[in-house]
Amino acid sequence: MPLIEIKDLKKYFGAVKAVDGVSLSVASGETLGVVGESGSGKSTLARLILKLIEPTSGSIDYDGITDIRRQCQIVFQDPQTSLNPRIRIGEAIAEPMLIHKIENRVGELLEMVKLPAGYAKRYPHELSGGERQRVGIARALALNPQFLILDEPVSALDVTVQVEILKLLKQIKAELGLTYLFIAHDLTVIGYMCDRIAVMREGRIIELGSKKEIMSAPREAFTRQLIESSFII
Amino acid sequence: MRRVNRQALFGAALLGFFVILAIIAPLIAPYNPDEIVESQTLAPSLSHLFGTDDLGRDLFSRALHGARISLTVGFVAVLISVLIGTLFGAVSGYYGGFLDSVIMRFVDVMLAFPSIFLILAIQSMLTPNIYNVMAVIGLTSWMGVARLVRGEFLRIRELQYVEAARAIGCSDPRIIFRHILPNAQSPIIVAATLGMAGAILTESALSFLGLGVQPPMASWGNMLMDSQAYLFDAPWMSIIPGLLILLTVLSLYFVGEGLREKLNVRG
């Protein structure tokens, strides 16, 4: 059984069909990419999986995941707003461990995301975008999750920093044996990170296949458009 | 960027001076403020810096003790209004939905009453004393804070760090008090400063009308009340408390505006 199995999931906000009948499974240990334009429902899908919002209909089954708040985590897109400006880095990373009453290992986590231990005493505004994103990753890893959703984790960063963060994410995945759901609008990034790719448009998954299938032989015109546009940059 | 706001500095200095005088009033007041020490309505002189009032009490001593009362009433009233306003605003903005509608309609109803008449009506039913004055002013002035805090909560609850807090399993109270409220404090501080000016004015108005702080206890408002009949014969009796109220309220406005600028608060 896959780690996460989604069946005919729908989430409507009034008349807006943000997620409109998505069926998808995430296998343990893989990196599944979800690509699509802004407003295609990718982030809503992520929040549904994390049970941050309730679906209108449909189901999500988790295999071996009993406590979503502990075993599933998320890294957000915007490092400017994903950290509370009034909380020091060390406290921000320690918070999940404090809440779930597990041993504090801030030092270890900072080391894992390659930040100096002294950063624990700093405030978010003293850090660069890339550094803040590392803090976001450390916080997400604090509870030893099995499954990590990366919601456009590099799209707000400079290109050189993007590469560093992507490498770090790959390395962490290999070290900890994590499963990733990687959301992006840029197929270059998705191609670098993912094993399988789902293409989303207007709340639906219009194409799903291995990286090779999607990148070399896309069936949908929209996917071809995405591929072309990603190489122009 | 680091331009010092002269007005705010002036306001803060004057306010600080008044607060210190109010605190050490019993030590520096030359006479007992409630005791008749001299002939009536003496003009200011070296032995009575601000003169004496219609009963022959020393106005300088009364002004000092009045500062204690007026500033305390203003501060406590604003504290009550900020606490209530923040609580309602936080619940309203954070939970939204039905609870939000109920609270906001209640705010509308409260705002629909002309507040000074509401206060007068309530005060005339209660025994007018200093505690009731604080409570009544606080209980009738929290609506602005509630709206403000609600707005801040609506904005901040959509930020990613709040979502991140939810994702790691923070409870609602923890999100409200640790993640949202501290980031909403700047406009609350500004509103509290300006609100204190309003509370001091209301206290003066109430005491002036005889429904606030009761004689012989001195407040700037009831000192003004005592002066009514002597506007021309003993103008210092009205000018001094009037000037003190003016300067205090003005200082609070200067400080409030300065904070608004410094803390980058809109509106």
pLDDT in tens, B194-250: 999 999 999 999 888 888 888 888 899 989 998 888 888 888 899 999 999 999 999
Distance from CA of A96 to the nearest CA of B (A): 5
Residue A33 near chain B (CB below 8 Å): no
pLDDT of residue B3: 59
A84 vs B183: CB contact, 8 Å cut-off?
A: yes
Nearest residue on chain B to A95, judged by CA atoms?
B168
Token pair 């041993």 is at which residue? A103
Residue B122 near chain A (CB below 8 Å): no
pLDDT of residue A212: 86
pLDDT of residue B267: 53
Between A and B, how many CB-CB pairs are < 8 A?
A: 53
A86 vs B182: CB contact, 8 Å cut-off?
A: yes
Of B160, B166, B170, the CB nearest to A82: B160
Nearest residue on chain A to B182, judged by CA atoms?
A86
User: Could you tell me the pLDDT band of residue A224, with boundaries at 50, 70 and 90?
Assistant: confident
Distance CA B162, CA B38 (A): 65
Which residues of chain A make contact with B166, given a CB cutoff of 8 A? 52
Q: Which residues contact A182 (CB under 8 A, 6 or more apart)?
A: A31, A32, A33, A34, A150, A153, A190, A193, A194
Distance CA B255, CA B258 (A): 5
Of B159, B168, B182, the CB nearest to A99: B168
Nearest residue on chain A to B164, judged by CA atoms?
A82
Report, as an integer, the average pLDDT of A93-108.
93
Q: Which of A15-19, A168-172, A216-220 has the lowest mean pLDDT?
A: A216-220
Q: Is the pLDDT of residue B266 over 80?
A: no
Which residues of chain B make contact with A85, given a CB cutoff of 8 A? 183
Please indicate whether residue A230 or residue A112 has the higher confidence score (pLDDT): A112
pLDDT, chain B, mean: 90
User: Could you tell me the pLDDT band of residue B68, with boundaries at 50, 70 and 90?
Assistant: very high
Instruction: Scan residues 38-77 of A and list those with Cβ closer than 8 Å to B.
Output: 47, 50, 52, 69-70, 73-74, 76-77
User: Could you tell me the pLDDT band of residue A226, with boundaries at 50, 70 and 90?
Assistant: confident
Distance CA B13, CA B11 (A): 5
pLDDT of residue B6: 87
User: Could you tell me the pLDDT band of residue B56, with boundaries at 50, 70 and 90?
Assistant: confident
Report, as an integer, the average pLDDT of B3-24.
90
Distance CA B178, CA A84 (A): 9
Whether ipTM tops 0.90, in short, is no
Which residues of chain A make contact with B163, given a CB cutoff of 8 A? 47, 52, 74, 76
pLDDT of residue A213: 87
pLDDT of residue A28: 92
DSSP B22-77: HHTHHHH-SS-TTSB-SSTTPPP-SSSTT-B-TTSBBHHHHHHHHHHHHHHHHHHH
Q: In chain A, where do the E strands start and end? A: 4-13, 16-26, 31-35, 57-62, 72-75, 147-151, 179-184, 196-201, 204-210
Q: Which of A218-227, B1-10, B44-53, B134-143 has the lowest mean pLDDT?
A: B1-10
Buried b (16+ CB within 10 A) or exposed e, B170-188: beeeebbebbbbebbebbb
Which residues of chain A make contact with B178, given a CB cutoff of 8 A? 84, 87
Distance from CA of B75 to the nearest CA of A (A): 27
Which token pair is B91?
Answer: 């619940």
Q: Domain residues of chain B, as ranges?
A: 73-262
Long-range pairs of A165-174 with CB within 8 A, sequence gap ≥ 24: A165/A130, A165/A133, A165/A134, A165/A137, A166/A192, A166/A193, A168/A113, A168/A114, A168/A134, A168/A137, A169/A137, A169/A193, A172/A112, A172/A113, A172/A137, A172/A141, A173/A31, A173/A148
A83 vs B165: CB contact, 8 Å cut-off?
A: no
User: Could you tell me the pLDDT band of residue B65, with boundaries at 50, 70 and 90?
Assistant: very high
A69 vs B167: CB contact, 8 Å cut-off?
A: yes
Of A70, A99, A136, the CB nearest to B170: A99
Q: Is the pLDDT of residue B264 over 80?
A: no
Token pair 């604003």 is at which residue? B78
B164 vs A70: CB contact, 8 Å cut-off?
A: no
Q: What is the pLDDT of residues A118-137, one digit of tens each?
A: 999 999 999 999 999 999 99
Determine if the pTM surpasses 0.90. Answer: no
B161 vs A81: CB contact, 8 Å cut-off?
A: yes
Distance CA A168, CA B115 (A): 60
- What share of chain A in percent tops pLDDT 70? 99
Q: CA of A37: how far to CAs of A133, A204, A222, B67, in Å? A: 22, 12, 10, 63
Distance from CA of A164 to the nearest CA of B (A): 22
Of B169, B182, B183, the CB nearest to A99: B169
Q: The domain B73-262: what is its CATH number?
A: 1.10.3720.10
pLDDT of residue B1: 43
Q: Is the pLDDT of residue B140 over 70?
A: yes
> Three-state DSSP class for B231?
coil
Using the 8-state DSSP alphabet, how is residue A53 labeled? S
Distance from CA of B207 to the nearest CA of A (A): 42
**Distance from first CA to last CA of chain A, Å, rounded?**
39
Buried b (16+ CB within 10 A) or exposed e, A120-159: bebebeebebbbbbbbbbbbbbbbebbbbbbbbbbebbee
Q: Which residues contact B109 (CB under 8 A, 6 or more apart)?
A: none
* Phi/psi-derived region of residue B64, left when phi > 0, alpha when psi is between -120 and 50, beta in every other case: alpha
Q: Is the pLDDT of residue A220 over 90?
A: no
Distance CA B172, CA B170 (A): 7
**Can you name the residues that pair with A198 across neighbouring β-strands?**
A34, A208
Which residues of chain A make contact with B160, given a CB cutoff of 8 A? 76-78, 81-82
Q: What is the pLDDT of residues A159-210, one digit of tens each?
A: 889 999 999 999 999 999 999 999 998 888 898 999 999 999 999 999 999 9
Residue A84 near chain B (CB below 8 Å): yes
Q: Could you give the domains of chain A?
A: 1-65+175-233 (3.40.50.300)
H or E stretch at B250: helix B236-262
Please indicate whether residue A188 or residue B72 has the higher confidence score (pLDDT): B72
> Three-state DSSP class for B3?
coil
Report, as an integer, the average pLDDT of B158-172.
93
Distance CA A225, CA A139 (A): 36
Which class for B251: exposed (0-12), middle (13-18), buried (19 or more C-beta within 10 A)? Answer: buried
Q: Is the pLDDT of residue B4 over 80?
A: no
Residue B16 near chain A (CB below 8 Å): no
